[in-house]
Structure 1
Amino acid sequence: MELAINLTIVGMVVVFIVLILLSAIISLFSKIASAGKTGGKDKMNTKDNDMPAPQAHKDVVEESTAYIEQKDDSELVAVLTAAVIAAMGGSSESNIHVKSYRRIPQISPVWNSVSRKEQIAAKL
């Protein structure tokens, strides 16, 4: 009986020591990898580009928002208004006007959205 208890305790101690060593090795590798990434980015931004990376990203965002604002969304507003009226019972006497809308970015992965649509279609 004593042998079993001693063996269990020794086994648990060995497992925890190995886990601690693995944790230390992984943290060491992550520090080495992060030090290598920052060194490469600084060199790339100062030598190759005239502007730093954050400013270049702002320019891309401004261009993309300018393109979005130029689109004519009257059809989309009409469809949204029709969907709201249909959801409220479909009476043509309601005085609902869609004044503005905003797009909600997709946070969930694509596979999650596809699976959700398949489950809804299966229930219909």
Structure 2
Amino acid sequence: MVKYLISFPSAAMKVPDSEMEAVSHDSHAVVREAKEAGVYVFGGGVDESVTPVLVSADGSVTKGGYTWAPPLNGGFLVLEVPSREEAIAWAARIAKACRCDQELRVFGFDSES
């Protein structure tokens, strides 16, 4: 079984405010189905109301993330499924629920973490 990361950046969510309740309902329904199917690992979203900080090896803290990198935001879901085809099928269900395309990547699981 392979773990897959299904994600989208916040800018992809071009959904009218009037549809956000339905998006929440529909996406949570897919998550519940993934849990019932035994493929759910974890999921959530980046809290964009909290500014990121960079923490250096010496413990110093600098407000803001990497200036050269695109911002990390949006939502994500990690599933463990037997095939890429099944991962694509789950990503399509999430895309339909969230009303936006989803990025699909193999999640590099580290058994030591």
Smaller-chain TM-score bracket: under 0.3
**If each structure's helix is expressed as a fraction of its own residues, which one has the higher value?**
1
- Looking at both structures, which has the greater relative contact order when contacts are Cα pairs under 8 Å and sequence separation is at least 6? 2
**TM-score, with normalisation over the residues of structure 1?**
0.22
**TM-score, with normalisation over the residues of structure 2?**
0.23
- Which has the larger Rg? 1
**If each structure's strand is expressed as a fraction of its own residues, which one has the higher value?**
2
